[in-house]
Amino acid sequence: MLKKLFGKGKKEPVEMPEADGKDVLTAYANGEVVSLSEVPDPTFSEKMMGDGIAIKPSEGAIYAPVHAEVVQMSDSMKHAVGLKTVNGVELLIHIGLETVAMKGEGFKQLVKEGDKVAKGEKLIEFDLDLVNEKAESTITPMVITNADDAVASMDKHEGMDGIAGETVVLEITAK
């Protein structure tokens, strides 16, 4: 009885696939998939943090693009999440530009560091209108932060509308 009462809402453990050297990443938000060069911030557009893609979100939710472990989640800011795939590729998804100034306002984390997440699982909810009002942009980049060490090749799929958890946006072969 108590187990049923207190176990409610508990997340089922995610079965992680075996490392096979290939990560197929789907859209992490619903919206237009664009080149990183379209991000109006040189930190991302000039790939200072790493290569990747960006999405102009059409709704306020971020989803896991691949089975992964949550390795970074800022409790105070809530606007970014770091993931590590089973093949060792590290990803950073950063919601909007200059959202750090919002200090977490309008963001709700649904996972925490150490969680294992399945492709398509919702990670963060956010108020898209509030981000549009208070931040520089809603464009949401995803970069590979350890590409030099972990990525042998990468194929990007840009210039289309993405459906979270379904539309393939990156295919990565790990080193």
Alpha-carbon gap, residue 133 to 129, rounded angstroms: 6
User: E strands along 98-157, which residues?
Assistant: 107-109, 116-117, 122-126, 140-144, 151-156
Q: Is 94 marked active-site?
A: yes
Question: What torsion, rounded to 10 degrees, do the Cα atoms 102, 104, 105, 109 define?
Answer: 150
- The β-bridge relationship of strands 122-126 and 107-109 is antiparallel
Which strand ranges, in their side-by-side order, compose the sheet holding 68-73?
116-117, 68-73, 80-85, 90-94, 140-144, 52-57, 31-35, 160-162
Which residues are catalytic, by number? 94
